[in-house]
């Protein structure tokens, strides 16, 4: 089902899942809030800071870890050259990648 992008509305979700019981629905919504907040905090903490992510967070997926290494390596080289424009472009590319990493399960296309 494709609709226009909208802000998150957990109350709407609570109404939809209320068939399972009010207490269970409340528990699920609270869990969703916790997980969404955690993903937002992850993104905000590491936004614009690929080296901090490399230093502080072990990424288990080899492909994602390699991608992060490449970002850090390219960034180091651009900083040595003092290439501000390319640094900004690379940071924007990294931030897009990081957002997709933080919200990968939400953004994943329907696999059916």
pTM of the predicted protein model: 0.79
Give residue 112's pLDDT band: very low, low, confident or very high (50, 70, 90). very low
The tokens for 101 are 């990493």
Looking at the structure, do residues 39 and 54 belong to the same domain, yes or no? no
Residue span of the structural domain in which 62 resides: 47-112
* Same structural domain, 32 and 56: no
Residues 2 and 20 in one domain: yes
pLDDT in tens, 62-110: 999 999 999 999 999 999 998 899 999 999 999 999 999 999 888 876 4
Q: Which is nearest to 63 in space by CA: 91, 35, 104?
A: 104
Which three-class secondary structure state does DSSP give residue 109? Answer: coil
Report the mean per-residue pLDDT for the chain: 88
8 and 55 together in one domain: no
- Tally the domains of the chain: 2
% of the chain surpassing 90 pLDDT: 54
Indicate whether 16 and 67 sit together in one domain. no
Residue range 54-67: average pLDDT? 89
Residues 22 and 63 in one domain: no
Does 103 lie in the same domain as 52? yes
């Amino acid at each position: 089902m494709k609709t226009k992008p909208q802000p998150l509305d957990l109350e709407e979700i609570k109404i939809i899942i209320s068939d399972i019981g009010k207490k269970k629905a409340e528990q699920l919504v609270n869990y969703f809030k916790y997980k969404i907040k955690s993903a937002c905090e992850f993104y905000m903490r590491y936004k614009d800071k690929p080296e901090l992510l490399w230093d502080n967070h072990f990424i288990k997926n080899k492909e994602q870890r390699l991608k992060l290494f490449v970002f850090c390596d390219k960034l180091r080289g651009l900083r040595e050259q003092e290439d501000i424009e390319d640094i900004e472009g690379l940071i924007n590319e990294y931030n897009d990648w990081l957002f997709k990493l933080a919200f990968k399960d939400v953004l994943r296309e329907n696999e059916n």
